[in-house]
Amino acid sequence: MLRLIINVIPWLIVTGMYILIRFGGTQETADWAYNYSAMIIMWLVGGVLLTIFFAFSNYLAMKPLIRKQAYIYIMLLRVIVVFVSLILMSLAARFMLFFQGHLSADEIITSWLERLTTLPTLAAFLYLIVAVSIVSFIVHMSFMTGQPLLINLLLGKYHLPKEEQRIFMFLSLKDFKYNAEVLGHKQYSRLIQDCFHDLTESAIACDVEIYQYVGNEAVLTWLPEKGIKNNNCINVYYQFHQTLQHKKNYYMTLYGTVPQFVAGVNAGLVMVAEIGDIKRDITYLSDVLNTTARIQDQCERFDKSLLISSEIKKILTCPLSLSFKSMGSVLLKGKEKPVKLWSVSPDSSANITIG
């Protein structure tokens, strides 16, 4: 519900500004002086329709073949989808007038074209193109930085450092040196791009905040309530693995290999702070991240795909579909005390094969 409200608000603002600019001080406004409900209905209906049209354009923009395109093409797609939707809606309105007996069949197209070419309509379309472009740019920036990060930067939530409980996953491509040497830098870079493009759907489904990409590695994070819900902090790994397996023919054809990832998961208190002036970012400062990275390093030693700390195992809420095996207490590099590690694998009913 909160996400729906957030998506509707920009278009209510866009519609409200248009009504104020278009009708402010006009005869229409005077005619509505004692009937504010007409203006409110126009505002709400306009905002909801634009939300639906833009959501549809976002749905198309998230298609694998489209989301890999340059941003300018994605922005043009959004503008065209919203623009065409409104034109078709105006044509539908002409047909409604025809069925109500206010227009003849011959007048449907002619009256529609006349309406489209009036100065107010052309001005409205120009305003719409600018508005969609601005909202599309903001949406793109939220994808570039991560929506929570963009909102927190705008609100200045971490202008002063704050302490938070966080879950982290370090997700890294297995045997990356071999792949880089065999594929060459260009093909290897494309492989990394494709892998992290394919991570998108799993990340959205598991409510992931992507903290950063570092070479062949992605650092994922959750607030505890989001990370433990439906075992998101574990299931994101298996959903991503399934995506890669479903596309194995694509990867084999293009790269001669099906990428495999290893992951380490940990939780703990971190300090969150906004840093930088020329380039602002939000960073997490804690030994928790270093420990998570070291846990992931142990995947090769134990020949496991996914390792978690005891802190994670304690907070998982519905582990019935998962199997755990103790790896014992391990003294990680840079740590004074050993850390108890667990390997995770889906049980037979989950029907997932880990390579």
Q: Which pLDDT score, from 0 to 100, does residue 14 have?
A: 87
Quickly list H helices, the chain: 2-23, 27-31, 36-61, 64-67, 71-99, 107-116, 119-145, 147-155, 176-205, 224-228, 232-246, 248-255, 287-302, 310-315
b/e code 19-44 from CB counts within 10 Å (16+ = b)? beeebeeeeeeeebeeeeeebeebbe
CB 265 within 8 A of CB 245: no
The verdict on 38 and 121 lying in the same domain is yes
Q: What are the pLDDT digits (tens) for 304-344?
A: 999 999 999 988 876 557 888 999 998 888 888 899 999 99
Q: What are the pLDDT digits (tens) for 64-123?
A: 677 667 778 888 888 888 888 888 888 888 888 888 787 888 888 888 888 888 888 888
pTM of the predicted structure, to 2 decimals: 0.69
The verdict on 195 and 136 lying in the same domain is no
Measured between alpha carbons, how far is 339 from 310 in angstroms, rounded to an integer?
A: 8
The verdict on 30 and 111 lying in the same domain is yes
Residue 271 pairs with which residues in a beta bridge? 163, 285
CB 294 within 8 A of CB 332: yes
Q: Could you tell me the CATH number of the domain that includes residue 296?
A: 3.30.70.1230
Q: Which of 194-198, 239-243, 316-320 has the lowest mean pLDDT?
A: 316-320
Note down the domain range covering 119: 2-145
The verdict on 183 and 284 lying in the same domain is yes
Residues in contact with 181: Cβ distance below 8 Å, sequence separation at least 6, in sequence order: none
The verdict on 192 and 316 lying in the same domain is yes
Q: What backbone torsions phi and psi does residue 148 show, to the nearest 5 degrees?
A: -60, -40
Judged by DSSP in three states, 175 sits in coil
Measured between alpha carbons, how far is 135 from 342 in angstroms, rounded to an integer?
A: 45
Q: What are the pLDDT digits (tens) for 137-175?
A: 877 666 655 556 566 656 666 667 889 999 999 999 987
The verdict on 128 and 173 lying in the same domain is no
* Number of domains present in the structure of the chain: 2
Q: What are the pLDDT digits (tens) for 283-309?
A: 888 999 999 999 999 999 999 999 999
Domain boundary among 145, 169, 192: 145
Whether pLDDT at 192 is above 90 = yes
The verdict on 266 and 130 lying in the same domain is no
